[in-house]
A and B are shown apart, each in its own frame.
Chain A
Amino acid sequence: MSEAAALPPGEHPARGGDPHLAHHFSSLERQVDASRLGMWLFLSTEVLLFTGLFVGYSVYRYSFPVAFAASARTSEIWAGTLNTAVLITSSLTVALAIHFVRAGRQRAAVVCLAVTLFFALAFLGIKAIEYTAHFHEHQLPGRYYRFEGVRLPGAEMYWALYFLMTGLHGLHVLIGMTVLAVIAWRTAHGYYSAHYYLGIELAGLYWHLVDLIWIFLYPLLYLI
C-alpha cells in the first residue's frame, strides 16, 4: 500500500506511463474487462433487490386482481407514460455520451450527460406532482388509505406496493443523478478520452438499469 502511494500507478516505467492503469492489472484492456464484469454483477444484485418487490406485487395482484386493476385505473396514467418517454430518452442521451467520447468529442459528451441530468430532474418533478395528487386523494398505503373512488379489499396493498416500488426506483434515480453529475464534471475536466472512458460507461450501465426497472414498473403499476 505504501509502495503504491509512493509510486503513482501510471509512473511505473514498465507500464508505458498510462495514468488510468491500476498497478494490479497487466493491461488496460484487462482492467476494463474486469470493471465491466464487476458492474454487471452489481447490476444483477440490483435486479434481485427489485425482484423482492416484484414478487410481493405478483402475490398480492394474484390475491386481489379486481382491486389492483381498479386502482391502476385511478393512477396518474399521463404521468407514468410521460415519465417512460423521459427515461427512455435519457437512456438515449447517455448512450450518445459514450458514443461521442469514443469519437473523441468530449464536449458533446458533457452536453449529453447534462441533458440526461435534466431529464432525470424532469422525471422526479413529474413524480412529485403525482405523489402530491395521491396524497390529496388519500391514495395511501395500509390504514391511511381513504380513497373514495375504489373501496375494495386489497386496494391499500396496491398503494403500499406503488409507493415502495416507485420510491425505491426514485432513490435509484437520485443515486444515478449523483453518479452522472460526478462523471460529467470529470469528463468536462478532461479525465476521460477516446482512449479511456470506463467511468462514463459504467455510470451509463447504472442509468440504463434505472430505465430497465421502470420499463417493467410502468405497465404493472399504471396500465393493467
Chain B
Amino acid sequence: MTENGKHHSALPYLLVWVALLILTATTYSTGRMHLVTWALPLALTIAVAKSLLVILFFMHLWEQKGANRIVIGTSFVFVALIISLTVADVATRFPLATPADAPFGSDVPAQLDEPPPEYQHPAGKIGEPARGVPEPK
C-alpha cells in the first residue's frame, strides 16, 4: 500500500515541523508589532504558507492522486468566494440601502422623511389569511 514502494525517511517531517514553528514565531513577533496596514495580509500569508506545508507534507497531498487535490482546492475556492463577496457586500453599503438600526454598513443611520411603505403581498398582508384561499378548518 505504500505509494511508491520505497521507504521514506522521517527527516522531511521534522523539517516541516521546524518550518511550522519558525513561521509561528514569525506570526507572533510581527503580530506583537501591531502593524496598521500590513498586519492582516501578513498574518494571512503566513497562515496560508503554514497550511500548505501541513496539507502537502503532513497530509501527503503531494504524493496523492489528483482527485483529492481538486476536492480540497474547490473547497478553498468557495471559502475565498464566500468571505470576499460577503465582506464586499458589507463594505459597499450606503445609508439609503440600509434599513434603520441595521447592524452593518453605514455609520449614519438611515433617515427617511416618511416611513417606508408597508410590504404588500399580492395575496394579502403577512399574517392575515390570504385572499381567495379558504380558511383551514
Contacts and interface: CB of A to CB of B under 8 A. Distances in A.
A41 B72 CA distance: 7
Contacts of B90: 59, 62-63
Contacts of A198: 1
Main secondary structure on A side of the interface with B: helix
Contacts of A28: 1
Contacts, number: 134
Interface size grouping (class) on chain A: 35 or more
Number of chain B interface residues as a range: 35 or more
A36 interface: yes
B43 A85 contact: no
Contacts of B43: 219-220, 223-224
B110 interface: no
A29 interface: yes
B83 A51 contact: yes
B44 interface: yes
B40 to A, nearest CB: 6
Given A40-B71, A48-B78, A196-B1, A92 B27 contact: no
B79 A215 contact: no
- Judged by DSSP, the binding face of B is helix
B111 to A, nearest CB: 20
Interface in A5-53: 28-29, 32-33, 36-37, 40-41, 43-45, 47-48, 51
Nearest to B87: A58
A51 B84 CA distance: 12
A84 B80 CA distance: 23
Contact of A37 (B39, B71, B75): B71
B56 to A, nearest CB: 11
B118 to A, nearest CB: 29
A215 B31 contact: no
B51 A216 contact: yes
Interface string A68-92: 0100010001000100110011011
Interface of B: 1-2, 7-8, 10, 13-14, 16-17, 20-21, 24, 27-28, 31-32, 34, 39-40, 43-44, 46-47, 50-51, 54-55, 57-60, 64-65, 67-68, 71-72, 74-76, 78-79, 82-83, 86-87, 90-91, 103-105
